[in-house]
């Protein structure tokens, strides 16, 4: 048994051995055979939440039946969860225990949405940030020339960009209006240190009505600080070197002194507590651009996440959505050897969801060191990628059909507006893709397809092998009634808790990210101009880049 203090790597637990046997047993049974053998499979492997919310009746349906497992696997996955004492983990997560044990912190981001109490010492208060956001939204803030601020540009990267960017894309009114004909502030994002991103945002900006929010928990991320400096220079070049620069900046950071030293007014530095990790921070002051974009609906976003917190904390594993999502993902990765997961949201508003999920899963559980300092041989977080449907169908789905790899798929379908035929096409496409990628098409079905085109027999024989697809791609289908603030909150919290479930069972700390520091160290060494410290390829590339630069002068 394994809990907070007495840890056993999961591979040494009895359920792990049983699950390894299940994987062998199922290897020769394609997914479509599992359906053929069990007429009730779809119903039994679908979790429906009809009383999840105060705002809506049926909030979330998750169909796991296209995952490559059966009832015995589910039973033993839940047994694995019990043997790792996942219930204790959830209790400690919500109780504010130091689960981020390497950095000696709690992981209490749920308290930003009322899902648990804040740890002692607090820091969860977002009152000042909210007042600022509403003042900005309502046109009460002016820039250095006296012009009303109508454009917010968020400068941040990673968790200080991906969450708010996704949520603004999903929820902001594309017409940009606030009430009767009053224009809302424009909200833009620039994350990349490649000047082209900020240049693109600023190409149509008016410096006099633009405010930059430097979103950086640490206020030390070089990309963000370089963009902040570029923004400062742009403002001066547009408005004059003696302008009141403080009128055009705010910051979200817990490095208050560093933000003030940059020139930000102390009352415009909005902290976030150190127990809110970057990739879990959209609920905190990092959500400032979202609050400006959607106003009071921000509270619906928090409410959706809070309801998912309650569900995760209180529901038995057998009906617990994040537990199932975590266990099926872990089954695919650690037992079936499926190392690729495509997130396929069928919603243009969720086009940045795969990027957000990449950071959440890969930065949280892309690790091999376990709680006791040992290294695991089990496969942990998969490679997460994806893109918005239906776009991917005309690009990468070919590989899902006829490539040589198994890829686990998460179809996310907000059903949406019943009166718009395009919305219906979108939903039907998502469901069709999940079906076709599961059942596949054998040689005789391929021949039958070709026969419908009245081709001669010889042509049918020649082409039929090229139509064959193996199918058997496992998928989960998550269906929401529509994409609104509440359901986006539900969805993001669902995945946050999924990642916790997996991290806990694998024995990983999902809340640190020491790996990424190594690249930063080398970048710093290269920036310092020191030579002779790196491998020959690196030294050569730096020399060649310098030569290119000199030639372009």
Cα gap 272→463, rounded to integer Å: 60
Cα gap 470→446, rounded to integer Å: 12
Smallest distance, ligand F6P to C-beta of residue 364, A: 10
Set 229, 257, 459, 520: catalytic member:
520
Nearest 5°: CA angle at 399, between 396 and 402? Answer: 145
Cα gap 471→407, rounded to integer Å: 11
Set 375, 394, 453, 518: catalytic member:
394
Catalytic annotation present for 68: no
Give just the sign of the alpha carbon dihedral 470, 476, 482, 484: negative
Q: Which is nearer to ligand F6P, 96 or 159 (CB)?
A: 159
Helices vs strands, H then E, count in the chain: 22, 13
Q: Order of strands, edge to edge, in the sheet holding 46-49?
A: 46-49, 60-63, 475-480, 408-414, 340-345, 383-386
Q: Which is nearer to ligand F6P, 228 or 460 (CB)?
A: 228
* Cβ-proximal residues to 385 (8 Å cutoff; 6+ apart), any chain: 340, 341, 342, 343, 354, 358
Set 363, 397, 496, 498: catalytic member:
363
Given a contact cutoff of 8 angstroms between Cβ atoms, the answer to whether 155 and 212 are in contact is yes
Q: Which is nearer to ligand F6P, 176 or 222 (CB)?
A: 222
Smallest distance, ligand F6P to C-beta of residue 160, A: 4
Smallest distance, ligand F6P to C-beta of residue 161, A: 8
Q: Which is nearer to ligand F6P, 96 or 366 (CB)?
A: 366
Neighbours of 9 (CB within 10 A): 19
Smallest distance, ligand F6P to C-beta of residue 512, A: 9
Smallest distance, ligand F6P to C-beta of residue 170, A: 19
Burial state string for 390-402 with b = 16 or more CB within 10 A and e = fewer than 16: bebbeebbeebbe
Given a contact cutoff of 8 angstroms between Cβ atoms, the answer to whether 390 and 411 are in contact is no
CA distances from 526 to 89, 227, 408 (A): 42, 19, 39
Q: Which is nearer to ligand F6P, 274 or 310 (CB)?
A: 274
Smallest distance, ligand F6P to C-beta of residue 198, A: 16
Catalytic annotation present for 547: no
Q: Which is nearer to ligand F6P, 221 or 473 (CB)?
A: 221
Catalytic annotation present for 204: no
The footprint of ligand F6P (CB under 6 A) covers 157-160, 216-218, 221, 224, 278-279, 363, 513, 516
Q: Which residues are catalytic?
A: 363, 394, 520
């Amino acid at each position: 048994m394994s809990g907070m203090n007495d840890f056993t790597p999961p591979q040494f637990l009895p359920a792990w051995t049983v699950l390894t046997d299940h994987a062998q047993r199922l290897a020769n049974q394609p997914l479509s055979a599992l359906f053929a053998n069990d007429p009730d499979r779809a119903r039994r492997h679908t979790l429906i939440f009809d009383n999840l919310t105060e705002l809506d009746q049926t909030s979330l349906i998750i169909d796991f039946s296209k995952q490559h497992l059966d009832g015995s696997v589910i039973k033993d996955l839940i047994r694995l969860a019990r043997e790792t004492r996942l219930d204790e983990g959830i209790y400690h997560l919500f109780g504010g225990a130091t689960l981020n044990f390497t950095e000696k912190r709690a992981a209490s981001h749920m308290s930003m949405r009322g899902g648990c109490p804040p740890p002692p010492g607090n820091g969860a208060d977002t009152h000042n940030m909210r007042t600022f956001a509403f003042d900005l939204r309502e046109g009460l803030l002016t820039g250095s020339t006296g012009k009303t601020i109508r454009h917010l540009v968020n400068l941040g990267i990673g968790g200080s960009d991906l969450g708010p960017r996704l949520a603004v894309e999903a929820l902001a009114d594309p017409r940009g209006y606030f009430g009767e004909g009053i224009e809302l502030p424009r909200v833009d994002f620039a994350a990349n240190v490649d000047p082209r991103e900020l240049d693109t945002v600023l190409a149509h900006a008016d410096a006099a009505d633009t405010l930059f929010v430097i979103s950086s928990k640490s206020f030390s991320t070089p990309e963000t600080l370089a963009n902040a400096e570029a923004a400062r220079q742009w403002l001066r070049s547009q408005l004059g070197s003696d302008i009141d620069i403080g009128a055009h900046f705010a910051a979200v950071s817990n490095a208050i002194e560093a933000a003030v030293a940059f020139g930000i007014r102390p009352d415009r530095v909005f902290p976030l507590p150190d127990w809110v990790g970057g990739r879990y921070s959209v609920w905190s002051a990092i959500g400032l651009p979202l609050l400006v974009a959607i106003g009071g609906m921000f509270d619906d976003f928090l409410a959706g996440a809070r309801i998912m917190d309650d569900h995760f904390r209180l529901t038995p594993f057998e009906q617990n959505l994040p537990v199932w999502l975590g266990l099926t993902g872990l089954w695919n990765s650690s037992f079936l050897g499926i190392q690729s997961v495509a997130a396929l949201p069928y919603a243009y508003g969720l086009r940045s969801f795969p990027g957000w999920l990449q950071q959440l899963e890969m930065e949280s559980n892309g690790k091999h060191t376990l709680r006791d300092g040992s290294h695991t041989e089990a496969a942990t977080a998969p490679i997460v990628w994806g893109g918005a449907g239906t776009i991917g169908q005309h690009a990468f789905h070919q590989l899902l059909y006829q490539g040589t790899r198994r890829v686990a798929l998460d179809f996310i379908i907000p059903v949406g507006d019943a009166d718009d035929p395009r919305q219906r096409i979108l939903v039907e496409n998502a469901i069709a893709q999940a079906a076709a990628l599961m059942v596949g098409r054998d040689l005789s079905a391929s021949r039958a397809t070709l026969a419908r085109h009245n081709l001669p027999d010889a042509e049918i024989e020649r082409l039929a092998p090229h139509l064959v697809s193996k199918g058997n791609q496992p998928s989960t289908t998550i269906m929401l009634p529509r994409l609104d603030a509440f359901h986006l909150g539900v969805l993001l919290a669902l995945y946050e808790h999924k990642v916790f479930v997996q991290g806990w069972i694998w024995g990983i700390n999902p809340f640190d990210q020491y790996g990424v520091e190594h690249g930063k160290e080398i970048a710093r060494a290269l920036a310092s101009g020191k030579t002779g410290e790196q491998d020959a390829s690196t030294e050569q590339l730096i020399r060649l880049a310098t030569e290119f630069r000199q030639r372009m002068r």
